[in-house]
């Protein structure tokens, strides 16, 4: 990994990554801002946990290699903390690799743990973050268990939106990936739903329509 510089342009980072808001000023000032290149390794299985990683932009993957020699992706992270569970463990249980040019914040793990103990607000914020993450991931798992594209779209609107309306904050291609579909399948399902009168689309807004 590249040399770790002291934080310089944080104001712009904070604007894009809300997880940073959680972190007490004192801890923020100890963080390293780091750039990782494509295929650059951040940590490997067995490495001791020195830093808590926060992805600001780009993508990091947590992977293992199976007996057949193939990569198994345990997690793709395009923003927020990676491997929250590493806080409690001494060593990493997988490899962490950047798959595109990636910007990260590294927080010293020991101080991170200590601050979590001492700072009541941080502690609550962290717990809230984890609980919210669990909620979202559970819904995501249920969604991916649905077998049809139309059902996944409907599930997304209901679980991520409000009153049957969701504002998409990403491209449809990226949405397709989140839904576990190819972009072609997503486009076709959206078209079908509109034709069937189940869905209205207005720019980035998707509206689930009642049976009527």
| CB nearer to a copy of itself: pick between 36 and 62 | 62
| CB nearer to a copy of itself: pick between 26 and 45 | 45
Of the ranges 22-30, 37-45, 52-60, 83-91, which one interacts with a copy of itself (CB under 8 A)?
A: 83-91
Tokens of 163: 């009153």
Q: Does 110 participate in binding a copy of itself (rule CB under 8 A)?
A: no
Q: Does 119 participate in binding a copy of itself (rule CB under 8 A)?
A: no
45, 114, 137, 200: residue in contact with a copy of itself (rule CB under 8 A) = 137
Helix, strand, or coil here: 204? coil
Between CA 157 and CA 164 the distance in angstroms is: 6
| CB nearer to a copy of itself: pick between 39 and 211 | 211
Per partner kind, with CB cut-offs from 5 to 8 A, the member of a copy of itself, DNA, none near residue 203 is none
Residue 36: Cβ within 10 Å count: 23
Helices (H) and strands (E) in the chain, counts: 7, 11
Provide the binding-site residues for DNA, judged by CB under 7 A.
Answer: 147-150, 171-174, 180-185, 187-191
DSSP string, 83-146: -GGGGG-SB-SSEEEESSSEEEEEEEHHHHHHHHHH-HHHHHHHHHHHHHHHHHHHHHHHHHH-
| Angle CA 150–152–155, to nearest 5 | 110
| CB nearer to a copy of itself: pick between 44 and 123 | 123
Binding footprint of a copy of itself on the chain (CB under 8 A): 62, 64, 66-70, 72-76, 83-85, 87-88, 116, 123, 126-128, 130-135, 137-142, 144-145, 147, 154-155, 157-159, 164, 177, 180, 198, 208-211
């Amino acid at each position: 990994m590249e040399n770790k510089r002291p934080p310089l342009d944080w104001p712009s980072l904070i604007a894009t990554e809300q997880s940073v808001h959680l972190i007490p000023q004192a801890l923020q000032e100890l963080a390293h801002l780091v750039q990782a290149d494509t295929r650059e390794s951040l940590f490997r299985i067995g490495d001791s946990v020195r830093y808590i990683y926060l992805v600001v932009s780009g993508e990091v993957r947590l992977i293992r290699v199976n007996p057949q020699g193939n990569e198994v992706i345990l997690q793709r992270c395009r923003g927020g903390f990676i491997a929250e569970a590493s806080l409690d463990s001494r060593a990493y249980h997988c490899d962490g690799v950047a798959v595109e040019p990636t910007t990260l914040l590294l927080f010293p793990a020991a101080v991170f743990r200590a601050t979590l103990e001492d700072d009541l607000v941080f502690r609550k914020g962290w717990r809230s973050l984890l609980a919210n993450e669990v909620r979202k991931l559970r819904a995501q798992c249920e969604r991916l268990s649905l077998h049809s594209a139309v059902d996944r779209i409907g599930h997304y609107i209901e679980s991520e939106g409000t009153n049957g309306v969701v504002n998409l904050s990403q491209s449809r291609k990226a949405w397709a990936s989140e839904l576990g579909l190819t972009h072609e399948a997503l486009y076709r399902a959206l078209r079908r739903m509109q034709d069937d009168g189940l869905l209205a689309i207005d720019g980035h807004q998707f509206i689930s329509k009642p049976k009527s």
